[in-house]
Amino acid sequence: MQKYLFGIILLLCLALPAAGQEVEELTDRLVGLSATQIEVAGKMAEATARSEAVPGAFNGVIVRGVSSDEAVAGWIRFEEGSAWGEWLPLYIVPSYTTDVFVAAYRGEAIRQRQRFEVRFTAQADATVRLLEAGVFDNRQDEDRASFDAAKTPAPAAGKTRGHVVPPTLITRSEWGAVPFIGDPIPLARPEYFYMTFHHAAGYSAATKEEGKVQVKRIQDLHQNGRGWSDIGYQLLLDRAGNVYQGRPFMDDSDGLDDVPVFAMGAHVGGANTGNIGVCLLGCYHPPEGSFCEQIITPAALDTIVTTFAFLSERYGVGTASLRGHRDFSSTACPGDNNYVLLPEIRGAVEAMLLAGNEPLGAVSLQAHTDADGVIHLSWDFIVNNDIFAYRVERIVGEDTTVVFESAAVQPEDFVDVGLAATGPVNYRLVARNNAGREQVLATLEVVVEGLAAFALASSYPNPFSDRTTIRYFLEGDGVVRLAVYDAVGREVATLVDGFQDGGQWYAQPLAASSLASGTYFYRLTVEGFSGTVFDETKSLVLVR
């Protein structure tokens, strides 16, 4: 068969221990791969890769990759002396929200220092990129350990009361879990020792609907691919901050507020006993590529802190025992961008343990955007338990700005005239009590649309007594001049005079401390390559 350099493209990354992601969660050690064949046959394409000789004993293989074809299929075969054995099917579980997939094989035969080949087929115009591969010997799984309840002390019950209110739990029945295989055994025997932070690599979820599907797929991979009794983690979180039950509880608890008895998981090889695994859906390790999420969301970070604070208070695990997965083995998990936050998370957990997180109140937060692209916010406090002061924060990308602060707990209207951005903008109202404890009472997202032409918006406020803001939108790049004139045409202030990029809003404040009361005019001109492309003047009134 003729070989081509197009069709399915197989790109192989040599799997080094420090690069492990989902594969490191599922295997004993990583194995390097090299491409051997790229072929196209009719409407289908085929790619094959071969491993190095695998040291030690193993009976299972995990391969993680990225494919633009959701129907990618795979097989594996093993070196048998001087020949190769038959092709055996791989069990493939694709991510619901990205192109990532994990392929698994496990068998009864125990193999020693054998090589293996994997073969994938996809549509002829598809791509497949293999990220890493590893092997395991499931005879060593703690997940399969026997448990003699008569000889082991019962797990100590967690505290039924505390100052930290846990997040609402999406139970196994809600996300559609299949039954546990066999009988669960207690996680603590009798104590809990660690809380471990993970991420799910390519299995990301931004909403509860996506999260339910992804958690179910992870259970499918862990049970049917890896051969564990159930999903490996005790708890999982999505990027919106929703919390999902992983393994079933050892008692009849329906939620975290019942302080459930956790079952043994399978998330840190050799260190699962007494170790509560919490996995954040998504990928937070920049070297992984374009599919990898870069930064934890504020909502997910808030829930992570609350979850670990609850676990620490109720189950007696100190903040010093809050670890990342990489603290136990040579893996990238939970990703560089999460791991660097662990000191901050520990500090926030300690603060919550001191102050608690009982609800300070409840608020209704609403927003709309006017014709000038200005966001109008309004809020009303429905419940006020102990609110001393509050603030409203605007979050654009990684930048957070306080746009409103008050100690008066009453309905308010606010116009965010200082916003100079297009696309999604997030707001959250943060309350504070007398003791200094803070709590997010409401969040919302507003999408600011760009315009199809240059525009000069009305200043706000107008009339004004001290300070106003002038907003304008640039359709294209240009040299911009924004100046203020008095009633007889004399220039009294130059606010902007220089080049600015197009395709975005700008907000320019005007402080009027040196101006007298009266009517003024502000003029915006934009010079492009062909001359003046925009020139408009509007009025404003200064009242002392």
Which of 138, 160, 179 lies at the terminal end of a domain, its last residue? 138
Express as a percent the part of the chain with pLDDT over 70: 91
Looking at residue 111, what is its pLDDT? 94
Q: What is the pTM of this model?
A: 0.69
Identify the CA nearest to 453 among candidates 526, 376, 396, 507: 526
Mean predicted lDDT score pLDDT of the chain: 88
The vertex-280 CA angle with 274 and 282, nearest 5°, equals 145
Looking at residue 58, what is its pLDDT? 95
Looking at residue 356, what is its pLDDT? 82
Query: How many residues are given for the chain?
Result: 544
**How many domains does the chain divide into?**
4
Looking at residue 530, what is its pLDDT? 85
Mean of pLDDT values over 419-428: 87
Answer whether residue 397 is part of any domain.
yes
Please report, for the chain, how many H helices and E strands are present, in that order: 6, 32
Looking at residue 13, what is its pLDDT? 43
Q: At what angle do helices 342-355 and 298-315 cross, to 10 degrees?
A: 60
Residues 74 and 186 in one domain: no
Residues 120 and 258 in one domain: no
d(CA 506, CA 457) in angstroms, rounded, equals 10
Answer whether residue 399 is part of any domain.
yes
Residues 528 and 399 in one domain: no
pLDDT band for 197, please (50, 70, 90 cuts).
very high
Structure tokens at 354: 């001191």
Residues 92 and 195 in one domain: no
Burial 76-103, CB ≥16 within 10 A → b, else e? bbbbeeeeeeeeeebbbbbbbbbbbbbb
pLDDT band for 5, please (50, 70, 90 cuts).
very low
Answer whether residue 2 is part of any domain.
no
Residue range 354-372, pLDDT digits in tens: 878 888 999 999 998 887 7
Residues 275 and 329 in one domain: yes
Residue 292 reports pLDDT greater than 80: no
- The DSSP annotation for 112-179 comes to ES--EEEEEEEETT-EEEEEEEEEE-GGG-GGG----TTTSPPPPPPPS--SPPPPPEE-HHHHTPPP
CATH of the domain at 479: 2.60.40.2550
Identify the CA nearest to 67 among candidates 88, 87, 92: 92
Provide the domain limits for residue 386.
Answer: 361-448
Residues 130 and 276 in one domain: no
Answer whether residue 123 is part of any domain.
yes
Looking at residue 3, what is its pLDDT? 38
Residues 323 and 175 in one domain: yes
Answer whether residue 1 is part of any domain.
no
Residue 432 reports pLDDT greater than 60: yes
β-sheet bridge partners, residue 383: 362
Answer whether residue 3 is part of any domain.
no
Which of 414, 448, 482 lies at the terminal end of a domain, its last residue? 448
Which of 138, 160, 189 lies at the terminal end of a domain, its last residue? 138
The vertex-237 CA angle with 300 and 144, nearest 5°, equals 150
Residues 296 and 190 in one domain: yes
Residue range 130-155, pLDDT digits in tens: 888 999 998 878 776 666 655 566 66
Residues 393 and 435 in one domain: yes
Residue range 19-42, pLDDT digits in tens: 445 687 788 888 998 865 555 555
pLDDT band for 486, please (50, 70, 90 cuts).
very high
Residues 287 and 208 in one domain: yes
Mean of pLDDT values over 301-322: 96
Mean of pLDDT values over 175-181: 97
Answer whether residue 117 is part of any domain.
yes
Residues 500 and 527 in one domain: yes
Looking at residue 7, what is its pLDDT? 44
Looking at residue 240, what is its pLDDT? 94
CATH of the domain at 379: 2.60.40.10
Looking at residue 153, what is its pLDDT? 62
Residues 32 and 119 in one domain: yes
Looking at residue 17, what is its pLDDT? 35
d(CA 262, CA 245) in angstroms, rounded, equals 10
CATH of the domain at 348: 3.40.80.10
d(CA 293, CA 279) in angstroms, rounded, equals 14
Least confident segment among 11-15, 218-222, 385-389, 532-536: 11-15
Residue range 60-106, pLDDT digits in tens: 999 998 888 888 999 999 999 889 999 999 999 999 998 899 999 99
Identify the CA nearest to 543 among candidates 461, 480, 474, 429: 461
Looking at residue 12, what is its pLDDT? 46
d(CA 490, CA 520) in angstroms, rounded, equals 10
